[in-house]
Structure 1
Amino acid sequence: MRSRSNSGIRLDYYQRLVNNSILKYQNCSSGLFVSTESIKVEELAQIKLEELNLKPCEEYEYFSTTNVLRSAKSKMMAGPSNQSPLTGLISGNDNNHSWVRDNVYCIMAVWGLALAYRKTVDLDEDRAKAYELEKAVVHSMRGLLRSMQMQSDKVEQFKRTQSPRDSLHAKYSSQTGKTVVGDYEWGHLQIDATSLFLLALAQMTASGVIIIFTLDEVAFIQNLVFYIEAAYRCPDYGIWERGDKTNHGLPELNASSIGMAKAALEAINELDLFGSRGGPASVIHVLPDEAQQCQAILLSMLPRESISKETDAALLTVVGFPAFAVDDPDLIALTRKTIKEKLEGPYGCCRFLRDGYKTAREDPRRLHYEPWELMVFENIECQWPLFFAYLVLDGLFSNNQEQVENYSKKLDSVLLRTEDNVPIVPELYAVPKEFVEAEYKKPNSQKRVAEGKIPHMWGQSMYILGRLMIEGFLSPGELDPLNRRHVTETKPDVVVQVVLLAEDSLIQDKMALHGIELQTVAEVAPIQIHPARVLSKLYSLLGKNRRMGLSGRASSSEIGLLATSKLYMMRNKILAFVPQFMDLQRFYVVLDTNFLVDFLRTEVAYLKHSWKALGRPIVTLKITHDLLDNYQHPPNALLATIKKLQSGYISGARVHLGRLSDFLHTSCITKLSFLRDMEDQSSRKDKVMVDQLMAQPSTSRPRLLSDSSKKVKRQASMSSTGLSVQGIVRRSRSIQVDPDDVPVQQRQTPHHLKDGVTDMAQDEPGSAKASPNSLRRSLEMENEETDVTELVEQLKQSTNLQEQADIIHYLYLHKSVTGGHWKQWWLVRHTAGMLRKRVEDLALAATDLLVRQKQLSVGLPPEHETIITSPLPPDELAAIIYDSCGEDHSTASLTQELLVYLAMFIRTEPHLFNEMLRLRVGLIVQVMASELARTLQCSGEEASDHLLNLSPFEMKTLLHHILSGKEFFSLQPLLFFFQCRGLTIKGHALSSSLTREMTKGEFKFALQVEMVLNRIPQPEYRQLMVEAMMVLTFLAQSEGSTPVLDLSHVEIEVDNIVQEANNLLIKDLVGPTLKIENMRAAADICLFLYDVAPSGRFGSMAYMCRALANILNLPRTADSALECCIS
């Protein structure tokens, strides 16, 4: 008989460890795990004192030794009493609750041990053990899958609502796999848990452990991908299930959830869930833009976890194993360093600052904390050995041997051991009640005791994985077969391929006059060119499963640039898609050619930094008649951009301008394999839809009305004119009609309608002939004698709804919707608001701002201003904007427009937003109008007209000018928020209790101060208040160990400082030729105080210092100068 090798013997040891500390708690039917028994330290203390008669100070030291678990062995290791014989899930304490997240982490150690046995097989017995462990993994993962499948209706609902009430449950019964608490009885929305399941599923499948068995299950997994796609804009309760750290059940955007979702999306993309035996139908597809949006938001948040948490130890799972979600090495190092500095202790890491969970001062009878109560948890937060295990794994994956050795020693020092010398990882270490006061005075000075679940199977699993890797049984590549750990490696420069196509031969000839040779859309055949919305409709069929009630991806979802920068193969045809930002049906900003080419530069730069797929990205642009000036000539901005593309570089990115056929071998080509099997009865309608989409000629322009129309002849009277267009709406009903454009003229006032129609007709009589729309050209020729003014007059007098509809329909056919092409931007914005149009990237734009710790408000202040504090779904956000703007449709459209520009600026020029906490879009609109009134020397009403008639590019330029000028905004220095104590601003008190509720690095703290400041309606007066508080900050800051001025017991009214400074300025200015009465400005403050610079000998802050000295009666020395200078 062949003897066992040392490796086999050692693996047998780890098998016993896994069996005794993890697998014994798996339900044999469901496969789920339950949490182990929670041991109360007080109970253990009583046992030890009775048996050993220890003194209290010796008691807790003794609990960290081997013997601590002997007395409790019967309670902890009495067998799988909490394990269901049916489900295989393990429940916590005396219940049967089984958490999704804990189950996935628990089974990872079993998976790792199975991989170790698989490669170091000595005997058939070892093969049997490897097989047994693999099936335990499959059993557990499929148990979770079954539990989630029973809630497939929630997956379907959540894709539309992103509401916590529609989320998958966070825990299930370990015996039945069914839910154990109601929808509103727990913080179920935990995107990180669902994402972790998908990530583990992908890695395990890639390692050869097949978990998915049927195509129905494949469809469900595909819909789980759609479930987590919105993680970047979906506040959840996070990894600790509490949401906001006050535990009031308030979800917030968590970096750990976004990072895990991003990792899962990237890992499972293009993965065959049937492994080597699968086919096209079992492959999962992920649109790359969803993962990239998660990436952008994640990078902007780190090392912060959320609005209420400065950082969180859970971020170790994002920057390291298992997610590896961050590709910036510097940001990874910063996040790791922040966690170590703020959260690490001798027994582990705190979860986050002021975490009251299981501390001696926590009241377990209450479900939430009072805000002021959080300060009592400072310095006594429980420390979790789990995070030492993560730091060990992090060192192993990053090949940092020093870190591995350091944290291995720290972890070994806090392990508990059974009488059989089995190492056990406890859930946490807490400060005993009698030692709390001493710990307050000197953090990390007191002995802590193990509490919570023992063993903590999540921590136990990570510990075992680390040991297997340290002893060489596992390599990083085996635990990470998808190679996510290489995400930080330098990638080659991306060359962006650009293809320019002419809509027709007329455009081709016009561009040739400028030396630009283009192919037409027809000439690139058999390659088909389609708009991005066609790709969105095709992807709406992905994951559809009628038996499970799953509708697949929402067809209304946007398609990003990364998706349209690929070529697609379907039915042996190659498809190329024009990017969504060039779709004229989406939003009006693309009607401005200057803005369009500027946006193109931004998107090319975006591709350079964001492209990760194989092959080069390809951007297909179609030059249409709509991009020409008055349908006649190519704009200079467009020609200049094309010349720049021909040079090979634009916006710092390498580009290659060429023909589509030349790029077939260098581009990324994706097969739309999920569209193959559509022959069954349930897929017939989908097949018809795909056939219709593909049957549309590539050169077709989107039309809203029928090509067939009866000839309309002018009659002598108004009534006969009405008869000539009667029934035109009914005749067009057989063709698809876009409801967005039909009522445009109807809802416009008669005055604007008349002026708009006649002015446009007179300005460019040849424009109709130049239009490529043959329907409208033919109607113009057939009805050239029809009196449009007469029709408009009849429309005003008509009371018949059908007659009004017919006239409006005729006017649409005859004059088209050309407000944008005629640069009537006030009209375009107004009608877009009337039609409640929504910009496609609205939700992403708002999220970009919110996650960078900026609050938003929309609507004109102060009555109609609505504050937005967390990301929202696109439709809900648009509804809030329109509700806030009321009947002002133009401002509603402009608000969306400005949000997009603000998001663009905060991504590319974040310094413009330094010290701004709340972006008040309505106030920005007012400031922009004021700036135009000042520049153009016109009235406020005229300035508003000028503002609304600016082109999108001009509007963006003006906004950049406003943001660049600090005089327009109330900027709050960040240091001030961390120093203020006991202030009163315009009658509203800022109590020092704020510091007991929040930490100085907490974003919510700054927002509380900002909220009080925003009660001041005059921005210039508000800025003076900020300067006064800055003076207080300077005086309260310490020089060495002694503050310049102790304000801890002083209640200061900031208004008095400003008023006193104003009085001092007036005394200095009084003269025979100066009348102060004529110099009063906002809040009755002298205009000179607003005009002077803050710094300098006679600056406003110098007067603030003198004012504060007077108010506080500060003593003056003989050599004190009269002036107080701040530089």
Structure 2
Amino acid sequence: MRSRSNSGVKLDNYARIVHQTILKYQDPVTGLLPGSSDQPDAWVRDNVYSIVSVWALSLAYRKNADRDEDKAKAYELEQSVVKLMRGILQCIMRQLDKVEKFKYSRSTSDSLHAKYSTRTCATVVEDDQWGHLQVDATSLFLFFLAQMTASGLHIVYTQDEVDVVQNLMFYIEAAYKVADYGMWERGDKTNQGITEINASSIGMAKAALEALDELNLFGAKGGPGSVVHALADDIQHCQSILTSMLPRASISKEVDAGVLAIISYPAFAVEDMSIVNMTKEEIISKLQGRYGCCRFLRDGHKTPKEDPNRLYYESAELKLFENIECEWPLFWTYLILDGIFTNSHEQVQEYQEALEGILIKQKDGIRLVPELYSVPADKVEEEYMNPHSVERIAMGKCPLKWGQSLYVLGKLLSEGFLAPGEIDPLNRRFSTIPKPDVVVQVSILAETEEIKELLLKNGIDVETVADIHPIHVQPSRVLSHIYARLGRNSRLGLTGRPYRRIGVLGTSKFYIIRNTIFSFTPQFLDHQQFYLALDNKMIVEMLRTEIAYLSSRWRMTGRPTITFPISQTMLTEDHTKLDPAVLATLKKLQDGYYGGARIQMGKLSEFFTTSCFAHLSFLDVKGSGVHHDDGGDDEGSGDGYVHELRHDDDADDLAQYLDHLLAHAAPKKKKQHVRGLGRFKAAATKTKDMVSLMNKAQDLNVHNVNMYLPNKLFRTTQPSLNLNLPDSSASQETQPSEVAASTVSSIPRDASGAIDYGALVQLLKDTQSLQDQADILYILFKDKGMDWDTHLHGQGSTVRALLADLYEKAGEFKNWGLIRMISGMLKKKVEELDSACSDLLAHQKHLTIGLPPEPREKTITAPIPPDQLAALIDEASDNNISVAILTQEIMVYLAMSIRTQPSLFSEMFRLRIGLIIQVMATELAQSLNCSGEEATETLMSLSPSELKSLLHHILSGKEFGVQRSVREVDASPAISIHHLGNVGATKSERAGISKLKSDMKMTEHTLSLMDPFKDPRLSLTDPIMEMDRRVSLTDAVKLDQSFTSSCKSMRSQSVDLENIESGKYRLQSMESLDIPECIPSSRDTRHGQWLRRRRLDGALNRVPVGFYQKVWKILQKCHGLSIEGFVLPSSTTREMTPGEIKFSVHVETVLNRVPQPEYRQLLVEAILVLTMLADVEIQSIGSIIHVEKIVHLANDMFYKDQVDLGADEHMLERDPSTGVCRLLYDSAPSGRFGSMTYLTKAVAVYVQDFLPSGSCAVQ
């Protein structure tokens, strides 16, 4: 027997450690590992981490084997790994009904269990008796399944198991919007069973999806059927949310050591190295102690102050756990691995030495990693006074198998038995390496030969759909249907991926389906669902946004390719020219730079060698299949191609659609001339097949399929219901006014005085005015309902059908007020409404809809299903259909902005859509010098692109002006928005807050207060340089205006809806829009600018950076802050830490009780002055501080000074709802008469009784 090499002896020693601490507990039947002798259940997360060291040891033996016994040992260890992984897979396969339900519900009651019986794989606790929903645990299993498969292990045996894994990927793909219990199983740190979105879950899900994408689960022996697929858009959603969250771990945890698993080994989920380093520094600085790291701040688990008889904590008792949180050596094993992967030898050595000092040494020499170290009960007070000073005692499991496993792994790597690449075969460790610049390929397709010629005249050479054969171009909706078949398995009751929209990353690849190349157009081009795509400026804006997103988020091999069709709707009204916005965009694309991205424009076929391809083999036909020969007879290809999905779905619309498409939608080769009956038979067969194809497209909700077919059998659009509509080439303004005047002067009534609906239908038939037809249909909609048949042109002319017809025509005329109104009546929903809502929520932004105060203003804090969301919007809009539709629209724009410019939303935790609508109307009223009613009508009539532009300018905090502009088609008012510079502003105004620091000193003896403003972008300090104001708001009078009905006429003649039965047919208004009356502008154009700024900032909940942390500090020096009767108690600081989003939201909630945004912002300024006292050496500044009293005190001082200076009562008019001078609202923060000057004086007067004598004097 040969002597063992030194490395062999060491390996044997590690094998002994692994066997003694891990493998000897493995169940011989299921392969699972129990938690401990006291906890016999098998936790998924602990099991996976525990077996990692066994896998690593098997790789080390295989690599360093110097005799056959080592190879046998390696095989035995490998099979132990396979047995455990398959044991977890068996547990999951017994719960596939939950996997299926969770894909749709995302409910905690439908989640996979977090732990199972070690002996039977059965569940051990009821659904509602444990925090089972832990996305990171399921993701961790999938992640290591991928890594182990890539290393050569065979864990998945059958095609059914492949489908299970594919469905588990669907289970975790929406992790970025799933609130779960997290890796500590507690959810919110109050331990009250509240779920929250966790960075650790999102990061692990992202890593798992990336690791599994395009992986063959059968390894080298597998075929195309065993490949699993992830959608790139879901991965990038996780990435963007993760980036926006870190270093925060969740809403209640400002930092969590568990995040180490995603910023470093094993997941490497974060691509930005600066975020990785920042998060690591936060963890080390805030959580590290002498025995490891705390899990998170104020973690009560196993501390002496925790009541073991109570499952949940009281909110206020969290403060008791501060500074005595248990420390876990586990996290030092992560930091050792991190040092190994980042080549930081000092870090490895530092943590290995620290870890060796706290391991528990057994008699046999094996060192164990204990679960945690706790403060002894008799030394709690000492630890409170001097954190990290007392000796702690080991508690909990010993060893913690999870920590023991990572400790052994670190040893194997640091001693050279394994290289990092061997336990990371999928190269996750390179995720932070900068990627090369992405070149976005754009291929323009013309719908018709005429459009192709038109583009050629402008120097743009493109192809038509017929030219690109054999490539098939389809709308993104078809790709959504295709992916909905992925992972479908009828034997297991799995339905595949839920039907969801496919984002631009998914549609920017070529797909090989049934040996045919497919390209898909982006989702935003589909105007059937919502009207945004009717606006060509909006289309090119969305194209710009998507290209920018692609260039920053594309991570796949090959370049992204966007297929952009130019359709009839992108031409001018007379169909002789391209829409100027579209043409300008095409020219920019030709130039090679657009949306901040490099562009390569060309034909689809030119991009094959440089593009990304995906082979969707799950749609391939089985057996010999059917060969679709383009030159074959029609008779011969009519049968045998309608049944070829993996599981025979007789009524599968998609299979039939694809079969028809591949068989009959290609340009046919010339055939020998057929005479007589054969010619008619061939024509009839072709027509029947095309009709069948169109019908299948309708079944899949693909309405514009004709655009994508080379054979233009159906050139006409859906037949009109023959409303007497004007020709779109003629402007509505040229219609004879006599017709309108004669036909709609009054509503027809019968002898009893009731409305004569028959005559009203006749009136509908006779009038040519779109507005009048909409008004009449609105009356019928309100009185008769959507499905009432007007019999306008025979049976089937229902109100719904007529409205749909009118919607199309209004779309041609770009009459946005009508389009929105009809969309609301037809209950159209933005297809991605729930996705937009989820995006905003996942970025830790709460949403409110409707106008304040509550209960009318509804708050959305968690994702809800689309139908419920639409119903909630309707309710919050007081069933005002135009406002409801506008709310949807703004929600989509906010989601677009937060995806591409998250910095716009910093320090804003609640987006109040109702107030944003109000502010937009106010801006228009002021800038256009019109009444509130006209401003509201103008807002409703803006095109989507103009509305988004207005919203973006309001969000940006930059100064802008609004002017009327003239549209070519004068169907609805247009505006132009332009940035304003600081020309004419004084030096001190441009300096803004830099001067405020000195201005706020009341006397040389005043408080030494810190400058609260650190960020030059802060809205409180941003000087407003609006030189183009048309209106002075100084003497503005508040008008109680309502949102008026979009049905109201935009012309002088219209159906008189105002006076019918007390306004029964008017859309209900949203109450009390505070739109100031506009008066002729004065020579000083800066009047009203600060009132406007405060109104904007108040509506957007915009506060200075660090504001909430300062509020937390001041709460520690008083009993609470009272704002208009609502108290923010000091006990909040016992429950929450200053950096928690939860605390910020709590403060914001109290502030949002104030309905007037400008008054709310003045209260914020007052609180800001108060917070300066937090840094003064004072024990207390009183009991409950009434902030509104400080504001009113400042207001009285301001009023007195102004009166002394000779200001008249008209100038000093007070807001009747708050009693504050409007002139104070309009005062700059700095300066002798600045708002902060008076607020500082007021604070000094209010709190002077609590200050040390002589510390403050008031002028």
* TM range, smaller chain: 0.7 to 0.9
Distance (Å, rounded) in 1 between the aligned partners of 2:1207 and 2:839: 53
Match of 2:506 in 1: 563
Match of 2:1243 in 1: 1108
Change (3 A) 1:810 1:688: closer
Distance (Å, rounded) in 2 between the aligned partners of 1:391 and 1:734: 56
Match of 1:10 in 2: 10
1:121 correspondence with 2:65: yes
Partner letter of residue 1209 of structure 2? K
Distance (Å, rounded) in 2 between the aligned partners of 1:681 and 1:734: 19
SS in 1 for 2:129: coil
CA shift for structure 1 position 1014: 1.1
Distance (Å, rounded) in 1 between the aligned partners of 2:646 and 2:208: 34
Partner letter of residue 409 of structure 1? E
Distance (Å, rounded) in 1 between the aligned partners of 2:22 and 2:834: 43
Change (3 A) 1:1019 1:893: same
Change (3 A) 1:963 1:1117: same
CA shift for structure 1 position 841: 3.5
Identify which range, 202-211 or 879-888, moves more after superposition: 879-888
Given that 1:507 and 1:623 are in contact with CA atoms closer than 8 Å, whether structure 2 keeps it comes out as: yes
Distance (Å, rounded) in 1 between the aligned partners of 2:1143 and 2:724: 51
Distance (Å, rounded) in 1 between the aligned partners of 2:67 and 2:423: 23
Change (3 A) 1:435 1:693: same
Given that 1:253 and 1:870 are in contact with CA atoms closer than 8 Å, whether structure 2 keeps it comes out as: no
CA shift for structure 1 position 823: 1.3
Distance (Å, rounded) in 1 between the aligned partners of 2:303 and 2:428: 37
Identify which range, 160-169 or 962-971, moves more after superposition: 962-971
Q: Deviations over 1:140-169 (max 9, x none)?
A: 001100010000011110111111111111
1:860 correspondence with 2:860: no
TM-score (norm 2): 0.76
Structure 2: tracts of 5 or more residues without a match? 623-643, 667-693, 705-720, 736-761, 958-1018, 1020-1092
Match of 2:687 in 1: none
TM-score (norm 1): 0.85
Match of 2:34 in 1: 34
Change (3 A) 1:374 1:786: closer
1:308 correspondence with 2:252: yes
Given that 1:234 and 1:872 are in contact with CA atoms closer than 8 Å, whether structure 2 keeps it comes out as: no
Partner letter of residue 1247 of structure 2? L
SS in 2 for 1:355: coil
SS in 1 for 2:174: helix
Change (3 A) 1:754 1:995: farther
Given that 2:847 and 2:860 are in contact with CA atoms closer than 8 Å, whether structure 1 keeps it comes out as: yes
Larger helix share, 1 or 2:
1
After TM superposition, list the pairs within 5 Å mapping 1:416-565 onto structure 2: 416-554=360-498, 556-565=499-508
After TM superposition, list the pairs within 5 Å mapping 1:39-438 onto structure 2: 93=38, 95-438=39-382
Q: Deviations over 1:637-679 (max 9, x none)?
A: 1111111111111122111101111111111111111112555
SS in 2 for 1:643: helix
Partner letter of residue 1037 of structure 1? D
Q: Deviations over 1:769-794 (max 9, x none)?
A: xxxxxxxxxxxxxxxx9994279789
After TM superposition, list the pairs within 5 Å mapping 1:998-1017 onto structure 2: 998-1017=1136-1155
Change (3 A) 1:447 1:121: same
Match of 1:693 in 2: 658
CA shift for structure 1 position 928: 0.8
Distance (Å, rounded) in 1 between the aligned partners of 2:802 and 2:874: 28
Identify which range, 495-504 or 905-914, moves more after superposition: 905-914
Q: Deviations over 1:369-398 (max 9, x none)?
A: 011000000000000000000100111111
Given that 1:96 and 1:175 are in contact with CA atoms closer than 8 Å, whether structure 2 keeps it comes out as: no
Match of 1:772 in 2: none
CA shift for structure 1 position 700: 9.2
Higher RCO (C-alpha 8 Å, min separation 6): 1
Given that 2:1212 and 2:1222 are in contact with CA atoms closer than 8 Å, whether structure 1 keeps it comes out as: no
CA shift for structure 1 position 538: 1.1
1:972 correspondence with 2:915: no
Given that 1:521 and 1:699 are in contact with CA atoms closer than 8 Å, whether structure 2 keeps it comes out as: no
Distance (Å, rounded) in 2 between the aligned partners of 1:423 and 1:681: 53
Given that 1:754 and 1:789 are in contact with CA atoms closer than 8 Å, whether structure 2 keeps it comes out as: no
After TM superposition, list the pairs within 5 Å mapping 1:926-941 onto structure 2: 926-941=918-933
Change (3 A) 1:1119 1:319: closer
Change (3 A) 1:1119 1:1070: farther
CA shift for structure 1 position 487: 0.8
SS in 2 for 1:621: strand
Match of 2:1063 in 1: none
1:963 correspondence with 2:940: no
Q: Deviations over 1:292-329 (max 9, x none)?
A: 11001001101100000001001100011110101111
Distance (Å, rounded) in 1 between the aligned partners of 2:83 and 2:610: 43
Change (3 A) 1:623 1:362: same
Identify which range, 957-966 or 352-361, moves more after superposition: 957-966
Q: Deviations over 1:898-948 (max 9, x none)?
A: 122223333444443333232101111111111112222333222221111
SS in 2 for 1:119: helix
Change (3 A) 1:880 1:33: farther
1:616 correspondence with 2:606: no
Change (3 A) 1:847 1:540: closer
Given that 1:977 and 1:1005 are in contact with CA atoms closer than 8 Å, whether structure 2 keeps it comes out as: no
Partner letter of residue 570 of structure 1? I
Distance (Å, rounded) in 2 between the aligned partners of 1:1119 and 1:411: 52
Identify which range, 945-954 or 840-849, moves more after superposition: 840-849
Identify which range, 306-315 or 896-905, moves more after superposition: 896-905
Match of 2:830 in 1: 839
CA shift for structure 1 position 830: 2.5
SS in 2 for 1:12: helix
Change (3 A) 1:914 1:288: closer
Match of 1:1023 in 2: 1161
Change (3 A) 1:228 1:681: closer
Partner letter of residue 558 of structure 2? G
Change (3 A) 1:643 1:419: same
Q: Deviations over 1:90-113 (max 9, x none)?
A: xxx1x5311111110111111111
Change (3 A) 1:155 1:763: same
Distance (Å, rounded) in 2 between the aligned partners of 1:123 and 1:1002: 57
Match of 1:1067 in 2: 1200
1:900 correspondence with 2:886: no
Given that 1:260 and 1:318 are in contact with CA atoms closer than 8 Å, whether structure 2 keeps it comes out as: yes
Distance (Å, rounded) in 1 between the aligned partners of 2:1240 and 2:824: 49
Change (3 A) 1:109 1:1084: same
CA shift for structure 1 position 472: 1.1
Distance (Å, rounded) in 1 between the aligned partners of 2:318 and 2:784: 68
Given that 1:836 and 1:882 are in contact with CA atoms closer than 8 Å, whether structure 2 keeps it comes out as: no
CA shift for structure 1 position 489: 1.3
CA shift for structure 1 position 602: 1.6
SS in 1 for 2:1165: helix
Partner letter of residue 866 of structure 1? K
Identify which range, 915-924 or 505-514, moves more after superposition: 505-514
Structure 1: tracts of 5 or more residues without a match? 38-92, 702-731, 743-752, 768-784
Match of 1:983 in 2: 1121
SS in 2 for 1:524: coil
- 1:806 is aligned, of 782, 789, 796, to 796
Q: Deviations over 1:416-459 (max 9, x none)?
A: 01111111000000001001000000000000000001111000
Given that 1:392 and 1:407 are in contact with CA atoms closer than 8 Å, whether structure 2 keeps it comes out as: yes
What percentage of aligned pairs have identical amino acids?
Answer: 51
CA shift for structure 1 position 3: 2.2
Change (3 A) 1:737 1:133: closer
Given that 1:984 and 1:990 are in contact with CA atoms closer than 8 Å, whether structure 2 keeps it comes out as: yes
Match of 2:1032 in 1: none
Change (3 A) 1:1120 1:861: closer
Identify which range, 1052-1061 or 454-463, moves more after superposition: 1052-1061
1:575 correspondence with 2:538: no
Partner letter of residue 789 of structure 1? D
Partner letter of residue 1080 of structure 1? R
Q: Deviations over 1:1089-1127 (max 9, x none)?
A: 11101122211111112122223346999999865xxxx
Distance (Å, rounded) in 2 between the aligned partners of 1:20 and 1:789: 91
Instruction: Give me the CA root mean square deviation.
Output: 3.0
Partner letter of residue 985 of structure 1? I
Distance (Å, rounded) in 1 between the aligned partners of 2:1227 and 2:1207: 20
How many residues are treated as equivalent by the alignment?
1004
CA shift for structure 1 position 1046: 4.8
SS in 2 for 1:989: strand
